[in-house]
Amino acid sequence: MANDHEKEASARASLRFVQDGNIVGLGTGSTAAHAVRLLGERVRAGLKIRGIPTSTGTRTLALAAGIALTTLDEFQQLDVTIDGTDEFDPQLNLIKGGGGALLREKIIASASKQLVIIADSSKRVATLGKFPLPVEVIAFAEALVAKRIAALGAKVQRRQSADGKPFITDEGHHILDCYFGQIVDPPGLARVLSDMPGIVEHGLFIGMASVVLIATGDQIQEFRKK
C-alpha cells in the first residue's frame, strides 16, 4: 500500500508537465495507470489534450477516463510522455518492459519532446540489473536469441502468461526476461542487443528520460538529465 501511495504521488507530480493542447504519450503499468486516471480528472475539469497510448491496456484505461486519443499516423511528435520504470540509475538510464509494452513505449518515448518518468522509491538503484531486462523477440528466432544472450552471461527465461502459455505482446512477439545481475555498461549492452538479429527491442532506455520523479512517502524528488 505504501508503494501504491508513492506511485500515485509521483503521478500527481507529473501533471505539471502537461499543458492545454498537448499531445501526450500515455505509459503502461501500475504507476502510469495512476497518471492516466489523474489526467482524466483534469480533462473532465476542462484540460484539452490528446493522448497516444503505449498499449491496448492503456488505451482502454484512457478511454474510460475520458481522454481523447490520437495516433502516430496523425502526430509524429509528442509534447510529453508520462511513463513508469522498473529501475533507473544515476545517469537516468532505465530498465522498462515489466508490463510487456517496451516496444511501443520506446517508440513513443523517441517521438516525445519530454519523457517524464514517475516511480516509487524502490525503483532507484545505483546500478541497473536488479530487475530482469525484458527483451522482445520474434518467436521464430527465440531459441537462437536466448542462446546468444545467455552467452553474454545472463540467465534467460521466456515470459509466460498466467495460463502457462508464452506471453504475447501487443505486436505479437515473445519476451525473454534476462537476469544479468549488475549491468556495469548499459549503453554497451544496449548496442550489443540492438545489433542482434531476432531481437525486436530491448528494455534498456539509454539517455531518453528528461526527468525522473520519485516519491518517498509524500516527498517528491526530481532528477534531471545532466
DSSP string, 26-79: E--SHHHHHHHHHHHHHHHTT---EEEESSHHHHHHHHHHT--B--TTT-S-EE
Q: Is residue 60 part of a domain?
A: yes
CATH number at residue 140: 3.30.70.260
**Both 56 and 36 in a single domain?**
yes
Task: Please check whether residues 26 and 100 belong to one and the same domain.
Answer: yes
Q: Which three cell numbers stand for residue 30?
A: 501500475
**Residues 8 and 114 both lie in one domain:** yes
Burial class (CB in 10 A: 0-12, 13-18, 19+), 173: buried
User: Is there a single domain that holds both residue 46 and residue 116?
Assistant: yes
Domain containing 67: what range?
A: 2-124+206-218
The answer on 149 and 111 residing in a single domain is no
171 is a catalytic site residue: no
| CATH number for position 118 | 3.40.50.1360
Residue 101 placed within a domain: yes
Residues 9 and 116 in one domain: yes
Q: Which three cell numbers stand for residue 37?
A: 486516471
Tens digit of pLDDT at every position of the chain (226 positions): 558 899 999 999 999 999 999 999 999 999 999 999 999 999 999 999 999 999 999 999 999 999 999 999 999 999 999 999 999 999 999 999 999 999 999 999 999 999 999 999 999 999 999 999 999 999 999 999 999 999 999 999 999 999 999 999 999 999 999 999 999 999 999 999 999 999 999 999 999 999 999 999 889 999 997 7
Exactly one of 105, 136, 142, 201 is catalytic; which is it?
105
**Residue 225 within a domain:** no
